[in-house]
Amino acid sequence: MSCHGDLAGGPADPVLLIAGSGLNPEVNFDWNYEPAFRARHQAYCTVALPNSGLNDIQAAAEYLVGALRTMHDDAERPVRIVGFSQGGMIGRWALKDWPATRGIVASVIGLDPSNHGTLTAVPVCAAACAASFWQQRTGSALLAVLNAGGETYPGISYTQIYTYADEVVTPNVPPPVARSELHTCPGDIRGHPPRSPAPRRC
């Protein structure tokens, strides 16, 4: 884990950035979110998942939980999660498998998250693939467990941001088919220009 800014004394809750499969935090965030957060004096941390997020998602989530706990202990206030692709989904796994984390997370923001898997991983995994690709394919056992019994938790704000033209998390067409969508979100949809998907917050 690597942090920037004052986790406890900053003007807003600190943010944990989680990279997508096959990416490390530097490649995923040093050209976009990190400079934007530094410019607004927003404290943030990044967490590097083993093998750049290509290993078992369940094991990788332990690193994420450790980062959440450390940030919360240092900040003494809730943490906000921003994750890309697998990074947008794995935060939900941490909340599912470690219920105590639900009290220290204020929000989960998924950027093209693989909440309901992707059909793209099916042909990729036809012969052999990375463990996290196998777990993110549509219909996987991990995703069945993740999405069973409700996909959100009270007291946590969820925002899922994705495009209908996503080439990795597919199909990401309008709900209810969208793979990034959370199905138990009440659906407070904010307006966007025509033909643009609206983020859904709950």
- Lowest mean pLDDT: which of 45-59, 60-74, 170-184? 170-184
> Is-cis flag, bond preceding 176, omega within 30?
yes
Q: What is the pTM of this model?
A: 0.91
Mean of the pLDDT values across residues 21-40? 97
Instruction: Give the pLDDT confidence score for residue 160 in this predicted structure.
Output: 96
Q: What digits encode the pLDDT tens for the residues 112-135?
A: 999 999 999 999 999 999 999 999
Chain-wide mean pLDDT for the chain? 92
Residue 200 pLDDT > 60, yes or no? no
Q: Which fold has domain 2-201?
A: Rossmann fold (3.40.50)
Instruction: Give the pLDDT confidence score for residue 15 in this predicted structure.
Output: 98
Q: What are phi and psi of 143, to 5 degrees?
A: -70, -30
Nearest to 117 by CA among 96, 100, 82, 92: 92
Sorting pLDDT into bands at 50, 70 and 90, what band is 189? very low
Q: Is residue 80 a contact partner of residue 50, using CB atoms and an 8 Å limit?
A: no
- Count CB atoms within 10 A of the CB of residue 148: 9
DSSP the chain: -EEES-TTTSSS--EEEE--TT--HHHHHTTTHHHHHHHTT--EEEEPPGGGGTS-HHHHHHHHHHHHHHHHHHHSS-EEEEEETHHHHHHHHHHHH-GGGGGTEEEEEEES--TT-BTTHHHHTTT---HHHHHHBTT-HHHHHHHTT-S--TT-EEEEE--TT-SSS----TTTT-SS--TTS--EEPP-STTSPPPEE-
Residue 193 pLDDT > 90, yes or no? no
- Count CB atoms within 10 A of the CB of residue 40: 11
Residue 198 pLDDT > 80, yes or no? no
Sorting pLDDT into bands at 50, 70 and 90, what band is 174? confident
The residue written with tokens 């943490």 in the block is 79
β partners of residue 109: 82, 159
Mean of the pLDDT values across residues 30-36? 97
Instruction: Give the pLDDT confidence score for residue 179 in this predicted structure.
Output: 95
Rounded-to-integer distance, Cα 191 and Cα 97, Å? 33
Q: What digits encode the pLDDT tens for the residues 85-119?
A: 999 999 999 999 999 999 999 999 999 999 999 99
Percentage with pLDDT > 90 across the chain:
88
Q: Is residue 136 a contact partner of residue 110, using CB atoms and an 8 Å limit?
A: no
Q: Name the residue ranges covered by the structural domains of the chain.
A: 2-201
